[in-house]
Amino acid sequence: MDMVIPKPMDVGVRDFLNRFDFSACMICGTCSNGCPVTGTPGMGGWDTRKVMRMLAYGMVDEVVDSKFPWLCTGCGRCAYSCPMGIDIPAVMGHMKSLRDRDKVPGSLHKGMANNLETGNNLAISKEEYLSGMAELGVEMAEECPGFFVPVDKQDAKVLFFPNSKEVYGDFEDQYWWWRIFYAAKEDWTVPSEGWEAVDWALFTGNYAGNKKLAKRKIDYMKQHNIERMIMPDCGGGSYGCRKGMDTCVLEDPNNEVGFIYLYDYLVQVIREGRVKLDKSVNAGRRFTWHDSCKHGRELARHFGKGFYDEPRWIVRQCVDDFVEMSPDRGLNYCCGGGGGMWPMPFEDESAWHARHKYDQIKRSGADVVVVGCSNCRDQIMKRIPKYYKDYKYEVKYLWQLVAETLILEPWEQDMVARAEAAAKAQWERLGVELDTTEY
């Protein structure tokens, strides 16, 4: 083997890496043992332990040029177990940040740039977005009289961020949250601009972008005097949003705004009796819960609280037959779609990563896997069955399960009339013409 001579390092990189004591690394390999990337075909034996050693020897360029950091989903399983507390996902994220932006794999950087420029990853125009919201609202109102999507509502209690893939194509996936808001008679709103829930800044190691996206949300909350935002469902989105918000608050404490995680929100509306559930609709099927790393392990590690008990409580309010996957909670395996792996051009590697998840699902014997993150959902619903075919299961969002289980009670006549008048005024104000006689 060639001798490795430690190289002089760029000052900025050295300062970042100095936050971690690589000399403390015992080369124990616990991180590599727990990391699903280990053994990825075609990676020539790269693993986290090797990367940590390379960085200790100053081989930053070699790591930055390699595919390894991009195969890291940021699931945090390595750091959870590292006896020396080295924040390996943060190191991988930093290696991503050192890549030239035109060499970021796939569409991630473009989506990120779109988001900063146009307010969403897919550069959907404001007109298209608003007319979609208006028309879908009219469709929804057939089942839920008085329903419409409130846009830029001043003093609303809850702010909700749509996910561009739903606004662009999977339109009806938005109905589940809307159904919950309708049943709970929530005072909610969405932004007319800068509405994207997903934050690819985190996935590309773009710290400046991450901060800008969080600040946009903070400014919107303040301008519209909104009580609290529901943190985006996407694991990366909510974790990225929390990170960016923290940076903004550190710079200026006036940037503090109210927020609530979707788990706490759902627990609240169920506990308060604002949403009533009928478990019988789910009888005869066995359900399991997939712990999203970014809502569990990583949130706990960085912010002191991961959502493990709340989603289980919510699922149990909806179903009688619940089983755990093994391992679960802090030791759960990532689905393989995180850190931008779902949209990145590394499908085989992502499927390799997912082998543990598939095995867990199969061993659970569940008919339905319930998830709390849109990345996890795409990966478990679309990519895993493409590669692993012998065990069949369904995938549902947690809020989909709640929306499908809730007992829908139409609003009183006067409330419907008030809502219809508000909808008419709103769409007129926003210049949206509805192709309908409703409202």
Binder among 76, 111, 209, 237 for ligand SF4 (CB under 6 A)? 76
What burial letters (b/e) apply to 349-368, b meaning 16+ CB within 10 Å?
bbbbbbbbbbebbeebebeb
Compare residues 218 and 299 and give the one whose CB is closer to ligand SF4. Answer: 299
Compare residues 25 and 319 and give the one whose CB is closer to ligand SF4. Answer: 25
* Residue 73 interacts with ligand SF4 (CB under 6 A): yes or no: yes
Compare residues 150 and 343 and give the one whose CB is closer to ligand SF4. Answer: 343
* Residue 331 interacts with ligand SF4 (CB under 6 A): yes or no: no
Compare residues 32 and 131 and give the one whose CB is closer to ligand SF4. Answer: 32
Compare residues 120 and 238 and give the one whose CB is closer to ligand SF4. Answer: 238
* Residue 366 interacts with ligand SF4 (CB under 6 A): yes or no: no
Residues 226-265 close enough to bind ligand SF4 by CB under 6 A:
235
Structural tokens at position 418: 């008030």
Range list of H helices, 144-234: 164-168, 175-183, 207-223
Q: What is the DSSP letter of 255?
A: G
Angle CA 305–210–87, to nearest 5: 50
Structural tokens at position 401: 């399960």
* Residue 299 interacts with ligand SF4 (CB under 6 A): yes or no: no
- 10 Å Cβ neighbour count for 59? 17
238: left (phi over 0), alpha (psi -120 to 50) or beta: alpha
| Residue 431 CA, distance from chain mean position | 32
What single letter denotes the amino acid at residue 364?
Answer: S
Binder among 63, 86, 141, 369 for ligand SF4 (CB under 6 A)? 86
Residues 142-171 close enough to bind ligand SF4 by CB under 6 A:
none
* Residue 325 interacts with ligand SF4 (CB under 6 A): yes or no: no
Nearest 10 degrees: CA dihedral of 364, 370, 374, 378?
Answer: 50
Sheet of 394-397: strand order equals 322-323, 287-289, 368-371, 394-397
Q: How far is the CB of 189 from ligand SF4 (least distance, A)?
A: 26
Residue pair 158/182 in contact by the 8 Å Cβ criterion: no
Of all helices (H) and strands (E), which one includes residue 238? Answer: helix 235-251
Residue pair 55/366 in contact by the 8 Å Cβ criterion: no
Binder among 334, 366, 368, 402 for ligand SF4 (CB under 6 A)? 334
CA–CA separation, 235 and 353 (whole Å): 17
Q: How far is the CB of 328 from ligand SF4 (least distance, A)?
A: 12
Q: Select from 310, 348, 349, 355 the least CA-distant residue to 334.
A: 355
- Residues in contact with 13: Cβ distance below 8 Å, sequence separation at least 6, in sequence order: 60, 94, 98
Binder among 77, 153, 242, 243 for ligand SF4 (CB under 6 A)? 77
Compare residues 31 and 183 and give the one whose CB is closer to ligand SF4. Answer: 31
Binder among 58, 74, 119, 244 for ligand SF4 (CB under 6 A)? 74
Binder among 54, 63, 92, 402 for ligand SF4 (CB under 6 A)? 92
Binder among 9, 17, 84, 98 for ligand SF4 (CB under 6 A)? 84
Kindly indicate which of the ranges 211-219, 250-258, 330-338, 407-415 contains the residues binding ligand SF4, using the contact rule CB under 6 A: 330-338
Compare residues 130 and 334 and give the one whose CB is closer to ligand SF4. Answer: 334
* Residue 96 interacts with ligand SF4 (CB under 6 A): yes or no: no
DSSP, collapsed to helix, strand or coil, labels residue 115 as helix
Sheet of 188-189: strand order equals 188-189, 158-159, 228-230, 259-260
Structural tokens at position 262: 């979707």
The answer to whether the peptide bond before residue 327 is cis (omega within 30 degrees of 0) is yes
- 10 Å Cβ neighbour count for 195? 24
* Residue 28 interacts with ligand SF4 (CB under 6 A): yes or no: yes
Compare residues 25 and 275 and give the one whose CB is closer to ligand SF4. Answer: 25
117-146 footprint of ligand SF4 as x/- string (CB under 6 A) = ------------------------------
Compare residues 146 and 235 and give the one whose CB is closer to ligand SF4. Answer: 235
| Residue 321 CA, distance from chain mean position | 26
Q: How far is the CB of 434 from ligand SF4 (least distance, A)?
A: 37
Contacts with ligand SF4 by CB under 6 A: the residue count is: 38
29-58 footprint of ligand SF4 as x/- string (CB under 6 A) = xxx--xx-x----------xx--x------
Binding site for ligand SF4 (CB under 6 A): 25-31, 34-35, 37, 48-49, 52, 72-78, 82-84, 86, 88-89, 92, 235, 292-294, 334-335, 337-338, 373, 375-376
